[in-house]
Amino acid sequence: MSNRREFLKRSAMLGTAVAWTPFARTMGMDVEPQQVSSSAAGSGDTYTVNMGYIGAPDIPPRRIVVPDVGGFKVLKGDFHIHTLFSDGGVMPVNRLEEAVQNGLDVISITDHIEYRPYFSRTGKWKLNDEQANNYNIWHEIARPEAEKRNVLLVHGAEITKSTMAPGHFNALFVQDTNPIAAAVDDWRKMLQEAAGQGAFLLWNHPGWEAPKSGGIEKGAPLRFTREHEDAHKRGWLHGIEIFNGKEYYPVVSDWCNERDLALFANSDIHDSELNTYGIQNPLRPITLVLARERTLESVKEALFARRTIGWAANTLWGRDPWLPELFKASVEIRTVTPGTLELTNRSSLPVTVSLGASSVELPKDVKRQAYLAAGRRSLTVVNWMTGMNRPLEITVV
């Protein structure tokens, strides 16, 4: 028996998995994960081996339970995502697969207008002139897959300036990205064109330290610049990322309170989900949207109404009245005896409360008792923030 035939036969008998490169998934190839077969497909030295790929386990989508709040459905979203049509590592259809696996209801693929090192006229993989001049292309490719998978897909793009200010902005709910791209030499005209289309404009990663790429100088304090104040006054700024990727900017909570802006926690993901966060990572950034219905129109209305809550790294950030309303909808509180409360978290949200002496974590559907300190009439939700260094307070007595 030849060495090759012996290897295949032994591999089949032992059930050995044969690794399949993730690049096949990255490029959108149709590869079905299967077990290694032990049956010979013919005679002689020819055997059929069904190859599965390691790193893509067959697990059900993540189920995130969040109750309705004040008549609004709480949708799970990510409004800052990249693909190979700018500097991301996967194709648009793969982002829809990842959204489903993470239990997301709504996403926006926001590829860079100014920076396209892969698929473009001058990138690693050349597009023809018609394709290269089409800055709606990533949305057009992803839309059929979004419909197939029942994920709401927001038409978006990232306005990417190399200096701070203004830095980077996501334009969400654009009608046509091409006129925005045509004004590329003047960031104010780009914002004006996006706003004229009815787009929601989001200031990305305000504390990102990258002075040559549109971030702040290393060690510089975060500040709401004169340029951003002007954009806000002109109606060209509607929200800010308090959490981006793996970075947290606490002062953004106060900025949003003071200027009536929406809070976001977005991934800004470039590499694959697996390589960035792993599989169904509960610490992954998600923006909760309180929408009237599960439709794009309702999501847009909710963003402009500032009904958003950021969630990442076991922390939530939000504004009145929506953050306290979300807590009241999620956590049941029952008085057992004077000074003793029974708390039950009915949601998938991370909740840690303090009633004075100690903190208590509330896993989903687990009853926990907690004791009010003498004279105390409220509990503190230590990982739900309503402002910079200001945790949520809930009156209980």
pLDDT over 80 at 15, yes or no? no
Count Cβ atoms below 10 Å from residue 117 Cβ, excluding itself. Answer: 13
What sign has the CA pseudo-torsion 359, 241, 249, 85?
positive
| pLDDT of 375 | 86
Separation CA 255–CA 191 (nearest Å):
20
Length of the chain: 397
Q: Is 376 helix (H, G, I), strand (E, B) or coil?
A: coil
Residue 219 falls in which region: left (phi positive, over 0), alpha (psi -120 to 50) or beta: left
Give yes or no for a contact between 369 and 388, defined as CB atoms under 8 angstroms apart.
no
Residue 49: per-residue pLDDT: 63
Alpha carbon 48 to chain centroid, angstroms: 41
pLDDT at residue 17, rounded to an integer: 31
pLDDT given for residue 397 in this prediction:
80
**22 or 376, which is more confident:** 376
How confident is the model over 166-175, as pLDDT tens digits? 999 999 999 9
Give Cα 300 to chain centroid, integer Å.
16
**pLDDT value, residue 287:** 99
pLDDT of residue 34: 38
**Which pLDDT does position 52 carry in this prediction?**
55
Q: Give the pLDDT confidence of 41-61 residue by residue, as tens digits.
A: 444 565 656 555 455 557 899
- List, in order, residues 6 or more apart from 8 with CB less than 8 Å away: 47, 49
Give residues with Cβ within 8 angstroms of 14, minimum separation 6: none
Tokens of 284: 């992954």
What's the token pair of residue 295?
A: 């439709």
Per-residue burial over 135-171, b if 16 or more Cβ lie within 10 Å, else e, is bbbbbebbbebbeeeebbbbbbbbbbbeebbbbbbbb
Q: pLDDT value at position 110?
A: 99
> What's the rounded mean pLDDT across residues 26-55?
46
Q: Which of 267, 194, 265, 188 is nearest to 228 (CA)?
A: 188
8 A C-beta contact, residue 81 and residue 271: no
Q: Does the pTM of the predicted model rise above 0.85?
A: yes
Q: Are residues 175 and 198 in contact, defined by beta-carbon separation less than 8 angstroms?
A: yes
Q: pLDDT digits over 190-227, tens only?
A: 999 999 999 999 999 999 999 999 999 999 999 999 99
What are the tens digits of pLDDT across the range 291-350? 999 999 999 999 999 999 999 999 999 999 999 999 999 999 999 998 899 999 999 999
Which residue, among 322, 240, 296, has the nearest Cα to 68 in the 3D structure? Answer: 322
d(CA 331, CA 175): 40
Higher model confidence: residue 372 or residue 199?
Answer: 199
pLDDT at 282: 97
Whether 290 shows a pLDDT value over 70: the answer reads: yes
User: What is the structure's pLDDT at 45?
Assistant: 61
The pLDDT assigned to 356 comes to 84
Calculate mean pLDDT across residues 368-380.
Answer: 91
How far is the CA of 115 from the CAs of 110, 133, 214, in angstroms?
A: 12, 13, 12
Residue 240 one-letter amino acid: I
Residue 172 has what DSSP assignment? E
Query: What does the pLDDT look like over 71-96, one tens digit per residue?
Result: 999 999 999 999 999 999 999 999 99
Determine the average pLDDT of the residues in 141-161.
98
- Tell me: pLDDT of 6 over 70: no
Collapsing DSSP to helix, strand or coil, 262 comes out as strand
Q: How far apart are CA 138 and CA 143, in angstroms?
A: 9
pLDDT at residue 339, as a whole number? 87
345-to-119, 211, 320, 380 alpha-carbon distances in Å: 46, 43, 20, 15
Q: How many CB atoms lie within 10 A of CB 127?
A: 18
pLDDT tens digit sequence for 241-287: 999 999 999 999 999 999 999 999 999 999 999 999 999 999 999 99
